């Protein structure tokens, strides 16, 4: 089986996370490097990491990284990155 890794980026809006961007990677190492880079660039803090295991929907696992950062006008923001391992058929 062949896999790809997707990283979805979202922000908290009206009590729910809205995902506005999805990037695909050929390896887990590249996807995790992108997550680390995004958090460093945004100067993220209060980082929470949750992992979920799925058996269906062609998704093997789902990792959610939620963190806080400051927007360009120094207002606090809550962001989330979702990493998924997806089966490619």
- pLDDT one-digit tens code per residue, 12-52: 999 899 999 999 999 999 999 999 999 999 999 999 998 87
Structure letter (DSSP) for residue 72 = T
What is the C-alpha to C-alpha distance for residues 23 and 10, in angstroms, rounded to an integer? Answer: 12
**For the chain, what is the mean pLDDT?**
89
Domain extent listing, the chain: 2-76
What percent of the chain stands above pLDDT 70?
A: 90
pLDDT exceeds cutoff 70 at 60 = no
Please name which of 74, 10, 72 lies closest in space to residue 38, comparing C-alpha atoms: 10
pLDDT exceeds cutoff 70 at 59 = no
Please name which of 36, 51, 45, 55 lies closest in space to residue 77, comparing C-alpha atoms: 45
Sheet containing strand 59-70, edge to edge, reads: 16-25, 2-13, 76-88, 59-70, 45-53
pLDDT of residue 65: 94
């Amino acid at each position: 089986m062949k896999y790809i890794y997707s990283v979805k980026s979202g922000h908290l809006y009206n009590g729910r996370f809205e995902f506005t961007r999805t990037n695909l990677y050929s390896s887990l190492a590249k996807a995790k490097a992108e997550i680390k880079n995004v958090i460093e660039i945004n100067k993220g803090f209060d980082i929470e990491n949750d992992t979920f295991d799925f058996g269906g929907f062609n998704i093997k696992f789902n990792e959610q990284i939620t963190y806080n950062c400051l927007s360009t006008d120094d207002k606090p923001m809550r962001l989330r990155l979702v990493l998924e391992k997806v089966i490619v058929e």
